[in-house]
Amino acid sequence: MASRSVNKVTLLGHLGRDVETRYTPSGVPVHNFTLATNRRWKDQQTGEWKEETDWHNIVVWKAENLAPHLQKGKQVYLEGRLQTRSWEDKDGNKRYSTEVIAEAFSIILLGGRGEGGAPPPDTEGVAPPMRTTRAAAAAPSPAPAAADAPSQEISDEDVPF
């Protein structure tokens, strides 16, 4: 009997930079960006609030028209898998890079700087999936409902960049 394993990552964070899109020689798009996730806790000794930011390298393959939707500061939910690559640098040192490989259909745009980020009232707190087709990119997005905004909304001061 073969053993089972799971390689699944779920992240909710803010984009650290705009998406960078490159193409393979055969024309397949590859999108790269960084995602910041924060952990906040109260120090038991001092009573002060502390915060720690982790940065994740995200790679998305074969997604059409992804870059216009993902700009620095936007809040994003995504699911993917971890992948570690290794190579030798120019000095012969072994280098490693761990990335989250995400599928375009598993990325949900939640909002960010200058956008309320609150979902329309009929979604009950669930943001719609991000659209990646050209026709969908031209469709207007619904205006956020200010009355339904969560009480602990993230402000520009909460974003680590």
Mean pLDDT of 11-18: 94
Could you tell me which residue, 66 or 108, shows the higher pLDDT?
108
Which of 16-20, 51-55, 157-161 comes out lowest in average pLDDT? 157-161
Question: For the CA atoms of 111, 107, 36, 46, what is the dihedral angle to 10 degrees?
Answer: 80
Give the pLDDT score at 140.
Answer: 38
The answer for residues whose C-beta is within 8 angstroms of residue 143's C-beta and 6 or more apart is none
Tell me the whole-structure pTM to 2 decimals. 0.64
- Identify the residue whose tokens are 């609030």: 49
In whole angstroms, give the CA distance from residue 133 to residue 121.
25
User: Helix, strand, or coil here: 95?
Assistant: strand
Mean pLDDT, all residues of the chain:
76
Report residue 161 CA to chain centroid gap: 15
Tell me: the pLDDT tens digits for 22-72? 999 999 999 999 999 999 999 999 999 999 999 999 999 988 778 888 889
Note the CATH number of domain 9-158: 2.40.50.140
In whole angstroms, give the CA distance from residue 103 to residue 108.
11
Give the pLDDT score at 112.
Answer: 60
Give the pLDDT score at 62.
Answer: 85
